[in-house]
Chains A and B, each alone.
Chain A
Amino acid sequence: MNFYTILTSIIIISIVWGGLIFFVIKAMTLKNNLEDDGKKTNTNNK
């Protein structure tokens, strides 16, 4: 594989899969806040 192939694969995979992993981690860390919010606001939804 030449240099540009490796570079492109690293860039594409980093952005697409890296982006997904970043937002999954954020979703997991924010989940606690969400659950807390949910508890507080459940009555509002009902």
Chain B
Amino acid sequence: MKQSEFFTSRLGLVLSVLGIAVGTGNIWRFSRVVAQNGGGSFLIPWVIFLIVWSIPLIIAEFAIGKFLRKAPLGAISIMTGKRFAWMGAFITFVSIAIMFYYSVITGWCLKYLIASLTGELFKIENNILYWENFSSSFQPLIFHLIAILISAYVVYNGIINGIEKVSKILVSSLVVFLFILFIRAITLPNAIVGLKYFFTPKIEYLTDIKVWLSALTQNAWDTGAGWGLILTYATYMKKHEDVTLNASLIGFGNNSISLLAGMIIFSTVFALSSDDAIKLITQSGPANTGLTFIVLPTLFSRMFESFLLNVIFASLFFLSLFFAALTSLLSMVELAVKTLIDFGIKRPKATVYIAIIGFVMGIPSALNLDFLINQDWVWGIGLILSGAFISFAVNKFNVELFRKQLINEQSSSFKVGKWYNFIMKYFVPFLAIFLLIWWLISSTTWDKNWWNPFHRENIGTCIFQWGTIILIFSIFSKKLSFIGK
């Protein structure tokens, strides 16, 4: 099928892809991980892995998408051959499985945005109870439905009139809102103590392998590298767009936003909290939402003496969070829709199918927090496998040829050197395997019955769910690869 739609401008492409990369993880996960791993000590490996892990994988995704014009399922099967087509199916499945519960999370952000806009958030006496009442009610289901309907409507309208138009507005507004919050946060009394913690390196943390692995994990999850989402958007980039330039813009842009969000959170928490600030930032709470939905609403109520200003700034924060979540959700819906388009189904029909499937499959996560946490664990770790499969596809294709013909093509202004071959051939696969083993072994420390597939977060449930999916896709591997013919 001939590609019929392209992003109209580089700005549209970059803001749309930045919308994928910037998600709730930049805002609530990044600050927590920085605090847990010694502040400034974490930032050093985090920057290193941006350059040696995230950007090379983003380059690979851009190049594959632009060259093959197919979603991950089709693209990976063309690159690896029929035998390994299941890898493309696995990458696709992981991103879609994340979509099912990410829509629920987007709904939570919308709920808190409405609660802050109406001032309801500041009338709450017990934030934990408020969260528990909300998450155990039927409300998450309604907000999940709204989130999936909004994203399906945008995707239904296509790339130019849907994703590009909406991402331009949402991502640029997000950056402006974060800057406003940043200026307020760093001018709060005592904010400097938070910034000091954020940037002070501690030697003992720098020599701890866990800090390095946490930095790699944060980059793997946070930049969207290896998810197949950037690959999907890249199928709509113009022929003369520069792969390396766009990939670098996304990598540095994403981490710049994380840095901004981190400074906002650390300044605000240290300035406004009467308790132990580090304890507040590091408390993960249910589904890692403790900081965002429990701690920050209290702190925002103390930001100004004026009630109205508190409402405005809290709303700006939750609006940023909602925009960040929504633009990432859009890309997951688009990946699913593009996969069906590759099979010859028209966009409107494909979008309706995906919206229905997305809503139905998200119901268990909307109604049961334990189910959502299990899915977040299984498919979050599965993303590391997805990254490894993309690097495998590049190697199967021939990494030198890939670099010369797909990345350093004629129109490319930035040429990538031979270092890229080493990174994709040895570094990424080695780190992916190492990281995977580390995470799985770590889970044995918090679950004695690590083999039990019905536990929430352990090796057993990962192996069981991945194994089932891989087995099914392996059986149908040859059939799945028909796109490549």
Contacts and interface: CB of A to CB of B under 8 A. Distances in A.
B191 to A, nearest CB: 13
Interface centre among A15, A19, A38 (most CB of B within 10 A): A19
B interface secondary structure, majority: helix
B252 A8 contact: no
B180 interface: no
Interface string A1-45: 110111011001101110110011011001101100110010011
B200 A31 contact: no
Interface residues of B, number: 32
A43 B259 CA distance: 42
Contacts of B418: none
A20 B259 CA distance: 12
Nearest to A18: B252
B43 A23 contact: no
A22 B240 CA distance: 20
B248 A23 contact: yes
B255 A16 contact: yes
A27 B249 contact: yes
In the A-B complex, the 9 residue pairs with the closest CB atoms: A19-B252, A9-B199, A20-B252, A37-B240, A8-B40, A5-B200, A23-B249, A20-B256, A23-B248
B242 interface: yes
B357 interface: no
Size bracket, chain A contacts: 20 to 34
Contacts of A6: 199
Interface of A: 1-2, 4-6, 8-9, 12-13, 15-17, 19-20, 23-24, 26-27, 30-31, 33-34, 37-38, 41, 44-45
Interface of B: 6, 10, 14, 40, 43-44, 47, 50, 192, 195-196, 199-201, 238-242, 245-246, 248-249, 251-253, 255-256, 259, 411, 413-414
Given A15-B47, A37-B411, A45-B6, A26 B199 contact: no
B200 A2 contact: yes
19 contacts: A1-B192, A4-B40, A5-B40, A5-B199, A5-B200, A12-B199, A16-B252, A19-B251, A26-B413, A26-B414, A27-B246, A30-B245, A31-B10, A33-B413, A34-B240, A34-B242, A37-B240, A41-B240, A45-B238
A41 to B, nearest CB: 6
Contacts of A13: 259
A5 B200 CA distance: 4
B14 A27 contact: yes
A26 B246 CA distance: 10
A32 to B, nearest CB: 11
Contact of A23 (B44, B196, B239, B252): B252
Contacts of B414: 26
